[in-house]
């Protein structure tokens, strides 16, 4: 069980969020070994719905895509997000090194239901952990998006391809 927690923590350490110019990043974030050094190109997208709200989300499916996430990105439209495939249910944590945009993250279970929503602060190198150990996916949006659209825990996510599991099934 300790090995699993170490693996989960290691994965959590490499997962991050989105971006827009804000204050300069703290010097220590750029000195963390193994962090990506530039933004990744725009990823494949999918239309998804949370309740009646529609969004276009980039699919972070591979370990490198998940690790890089929204680092160094300088904007995110109100109707955009990034959905992360965490590969198996787990307790997870997201952080914000090299990410100047304030974001919100929804931690989502394997059935596509939001279990938790948390705010993430620009350049914060502290992990924001899920309380649940049943998190399979995460969705990052502009900070406050869930609140502005009255999306709360218990809301199910669906995509134009079916369930979120089906959406990622042919990912690699």
Least-confidence region, from 34-43, 69-78, 137-146 = 34-43
Structure tokens at 29: 């974030």
The answer to whether residue 60 scores a pLDDT higher than 80 is yes
As a whole number of Å, the end-to-end CA separation of the chain is 28
- Tens digit of pLDDT for each residue in 136-155? 999 999 999 999 999 999 99
Query: What pLDDT is attached to residue 128?
Result: 97
Residue 147, phi then psi, degrees to nearest 5: -65, -45
Please report the domains of the chain, with CATH numbers, ordered by start residue.
2-24+38-168 (2.60.120.1140)
Please choose, from the candidates 83, 79, 59, 67, the residue with its C-alpha nearest in 3D space to the C-alpha of residue 157.
83
Question: For residue 159, what are the CA distances in angstroms to 69, 125, 164?
Answer: 20, 31, 6
- Tens digit of pLDDT for each residue in 100-115? 999 999 999 999 999 9
11 vs 32, more confident? 32
**Summary mean pLDDT of the chain:** 84
Model pTM score = 0.81
Cβ count within 10 A of residue 6? 10
Dihedral over alpha carbons 126, 132, 135, 139 (to 10 degrees): -50
Cβ count within 10 A of residue 55? 23
Query: What pLDDT is attached to residue 29?
Result: 53
Query: What pLDDT is attached to residue 170?
Result: 57
**Contact between 140 and 17 (Cβ < 8 Å):** yes
Question: Which H/E stretch holds residue 56?
Answer: strand 53-60
**Contact between 16 and 98 (Cβ < 8 Å):** yes
Strand arrangement of the beta sheet that strand 114-120 belongs to: 114-120, 103-108, 135-142, 80-90, 53-60, 45-50, 157-159
pLDDT band at residue 35 under the 50/70/90 scheme: confident
Query: What pLDDT is attached to residue 92?
Result: 97
The answer to whether residue 167 scores a pLDDT higher than 60 is yes
Residue range 65-75: mean pLDDT, rounded: 93
- Tens digit of pLDDT for each residue in 152-165? 999 999 999 988 88
């Amino acid at each position: 069980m300790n090995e699993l927690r170490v693996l989960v923590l290691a994965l959590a350490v490499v997962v991050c969020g989105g971006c827009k110019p804000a204050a300069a990043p703290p010097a220590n974030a750029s000195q963390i070994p193994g962090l990506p050094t530039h933004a990744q190109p725009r990823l494949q997208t999918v239309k998804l719905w949370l309740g009646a709200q529609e969004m276009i989300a980039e699919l972070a499916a591979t370990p490198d895509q998940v690790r890089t996430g929204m680092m160094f990105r300088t904007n995110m439209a109100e109707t955009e997000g990034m959905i992360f495939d965490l590969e198996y249910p787990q307790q997870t944590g997201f952080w914000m090194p090299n990410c100047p945009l304030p974001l919100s993250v929804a931690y989502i279970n394997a059935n596509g239901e939001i279990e938790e929503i948390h705010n993430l602060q620009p350049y914060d190198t502290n992990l924001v952990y899920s309380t649940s150990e049943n998190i399979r996916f995460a969705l990052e949006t502009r900070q406050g998006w869930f609140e502005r659209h009255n999306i709360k825990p218990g809301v199910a996510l669906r995509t134009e391809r079916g369930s979120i599991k089906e959406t990622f099934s042919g990912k690699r």
